[in-house]
Structure 1
């Protein structure tokens, strides 16, 4: 029998063994690339770290995640075309995009990530499925 009932909604930080495994694997890959002299090693922790932040900490909507990812790709391509392979030029431009995405998400009535109890007055509506 198939149930149309949705599982209960939760809020706050999410962390599992799978998350730990992905973070450890990403750190290992970044280290491996760096010791082999790959100048683009920093892309791995940027991508994995933001994936964790967006999915587990701030629970960012998929469309914001995809827009952020597109901006990262364009940002990195621009800096690589300019000959800047280091982490600072691209990250210097990407951090404001990250803060914008997180800020927009936290102002949403559907926000249910970390600190949702403090910043979302409509959290109960979201958790009860009224939004």
Structure 2
């Protein structure tokens, strides 16, 4: 069996045992959280899912990630101020998610899923 699988390639999708562990821990935390803190526990898989989407699938650069995080936190605070469920922020941030992904895919240095590593010339 080949144990030299490169889980952090320079281009394309990446996945590691740490990612699998994070997904498992998140599933347990969400399940327990639903009984302890209610629907707010849905933030766990939502945020982890975006982390996985941005870091492993589309390999988004740091600044757009931070813009998304700032937008999401702003929407959560706005929901709290407006006295509506903070779960609305999960729906309201989806256009920003689409924008971050579109911006990242269109960059010339894109190296996420569907990209091809440059061929090294000898």
* Residue in 2 that maps onto 1:93: 92
Q: Which whole-Å deviations, capped at 9, do the CAs of 1:60-94 have from their partners, x for residues lacking one?
A: 0011111100111111111122222252x212211
Aligned length: 112
Matches within 5 A, 1:3-22: 10-22=10-22
**2:66 matched to 1:58?**
no
Structure 1 vs Structure 2 CA RMSD: 1.7
- TM-score normalised according to structure 1 size: 0.78
Q: For the residues of structure 2 that align with 1:64 and 1:107, how far apart are their CA atoms?
A: 13
Matches within 5 A, 1:80-119: 80-85=80-85, 87=87, 89-117=88-116
Is residue 76–residue 86 contact of structure 2 (8 Å, CA) maintained in 1?
A: no
Q: Which of structure 1's runs of 4+ aligned residues deviate more than 3 A? A: none
Q: Structure 2: state its 5+ residue gaps.
A: 1-8
Q: Which whole-Å deviations, capped at 9, do the CAs of 1:11-64 have from their partners, x for residues lacking one?
A: 111001000111111121111111224231111111111011100000000111
- TM-score normalised according to structure 2 size: 0.83
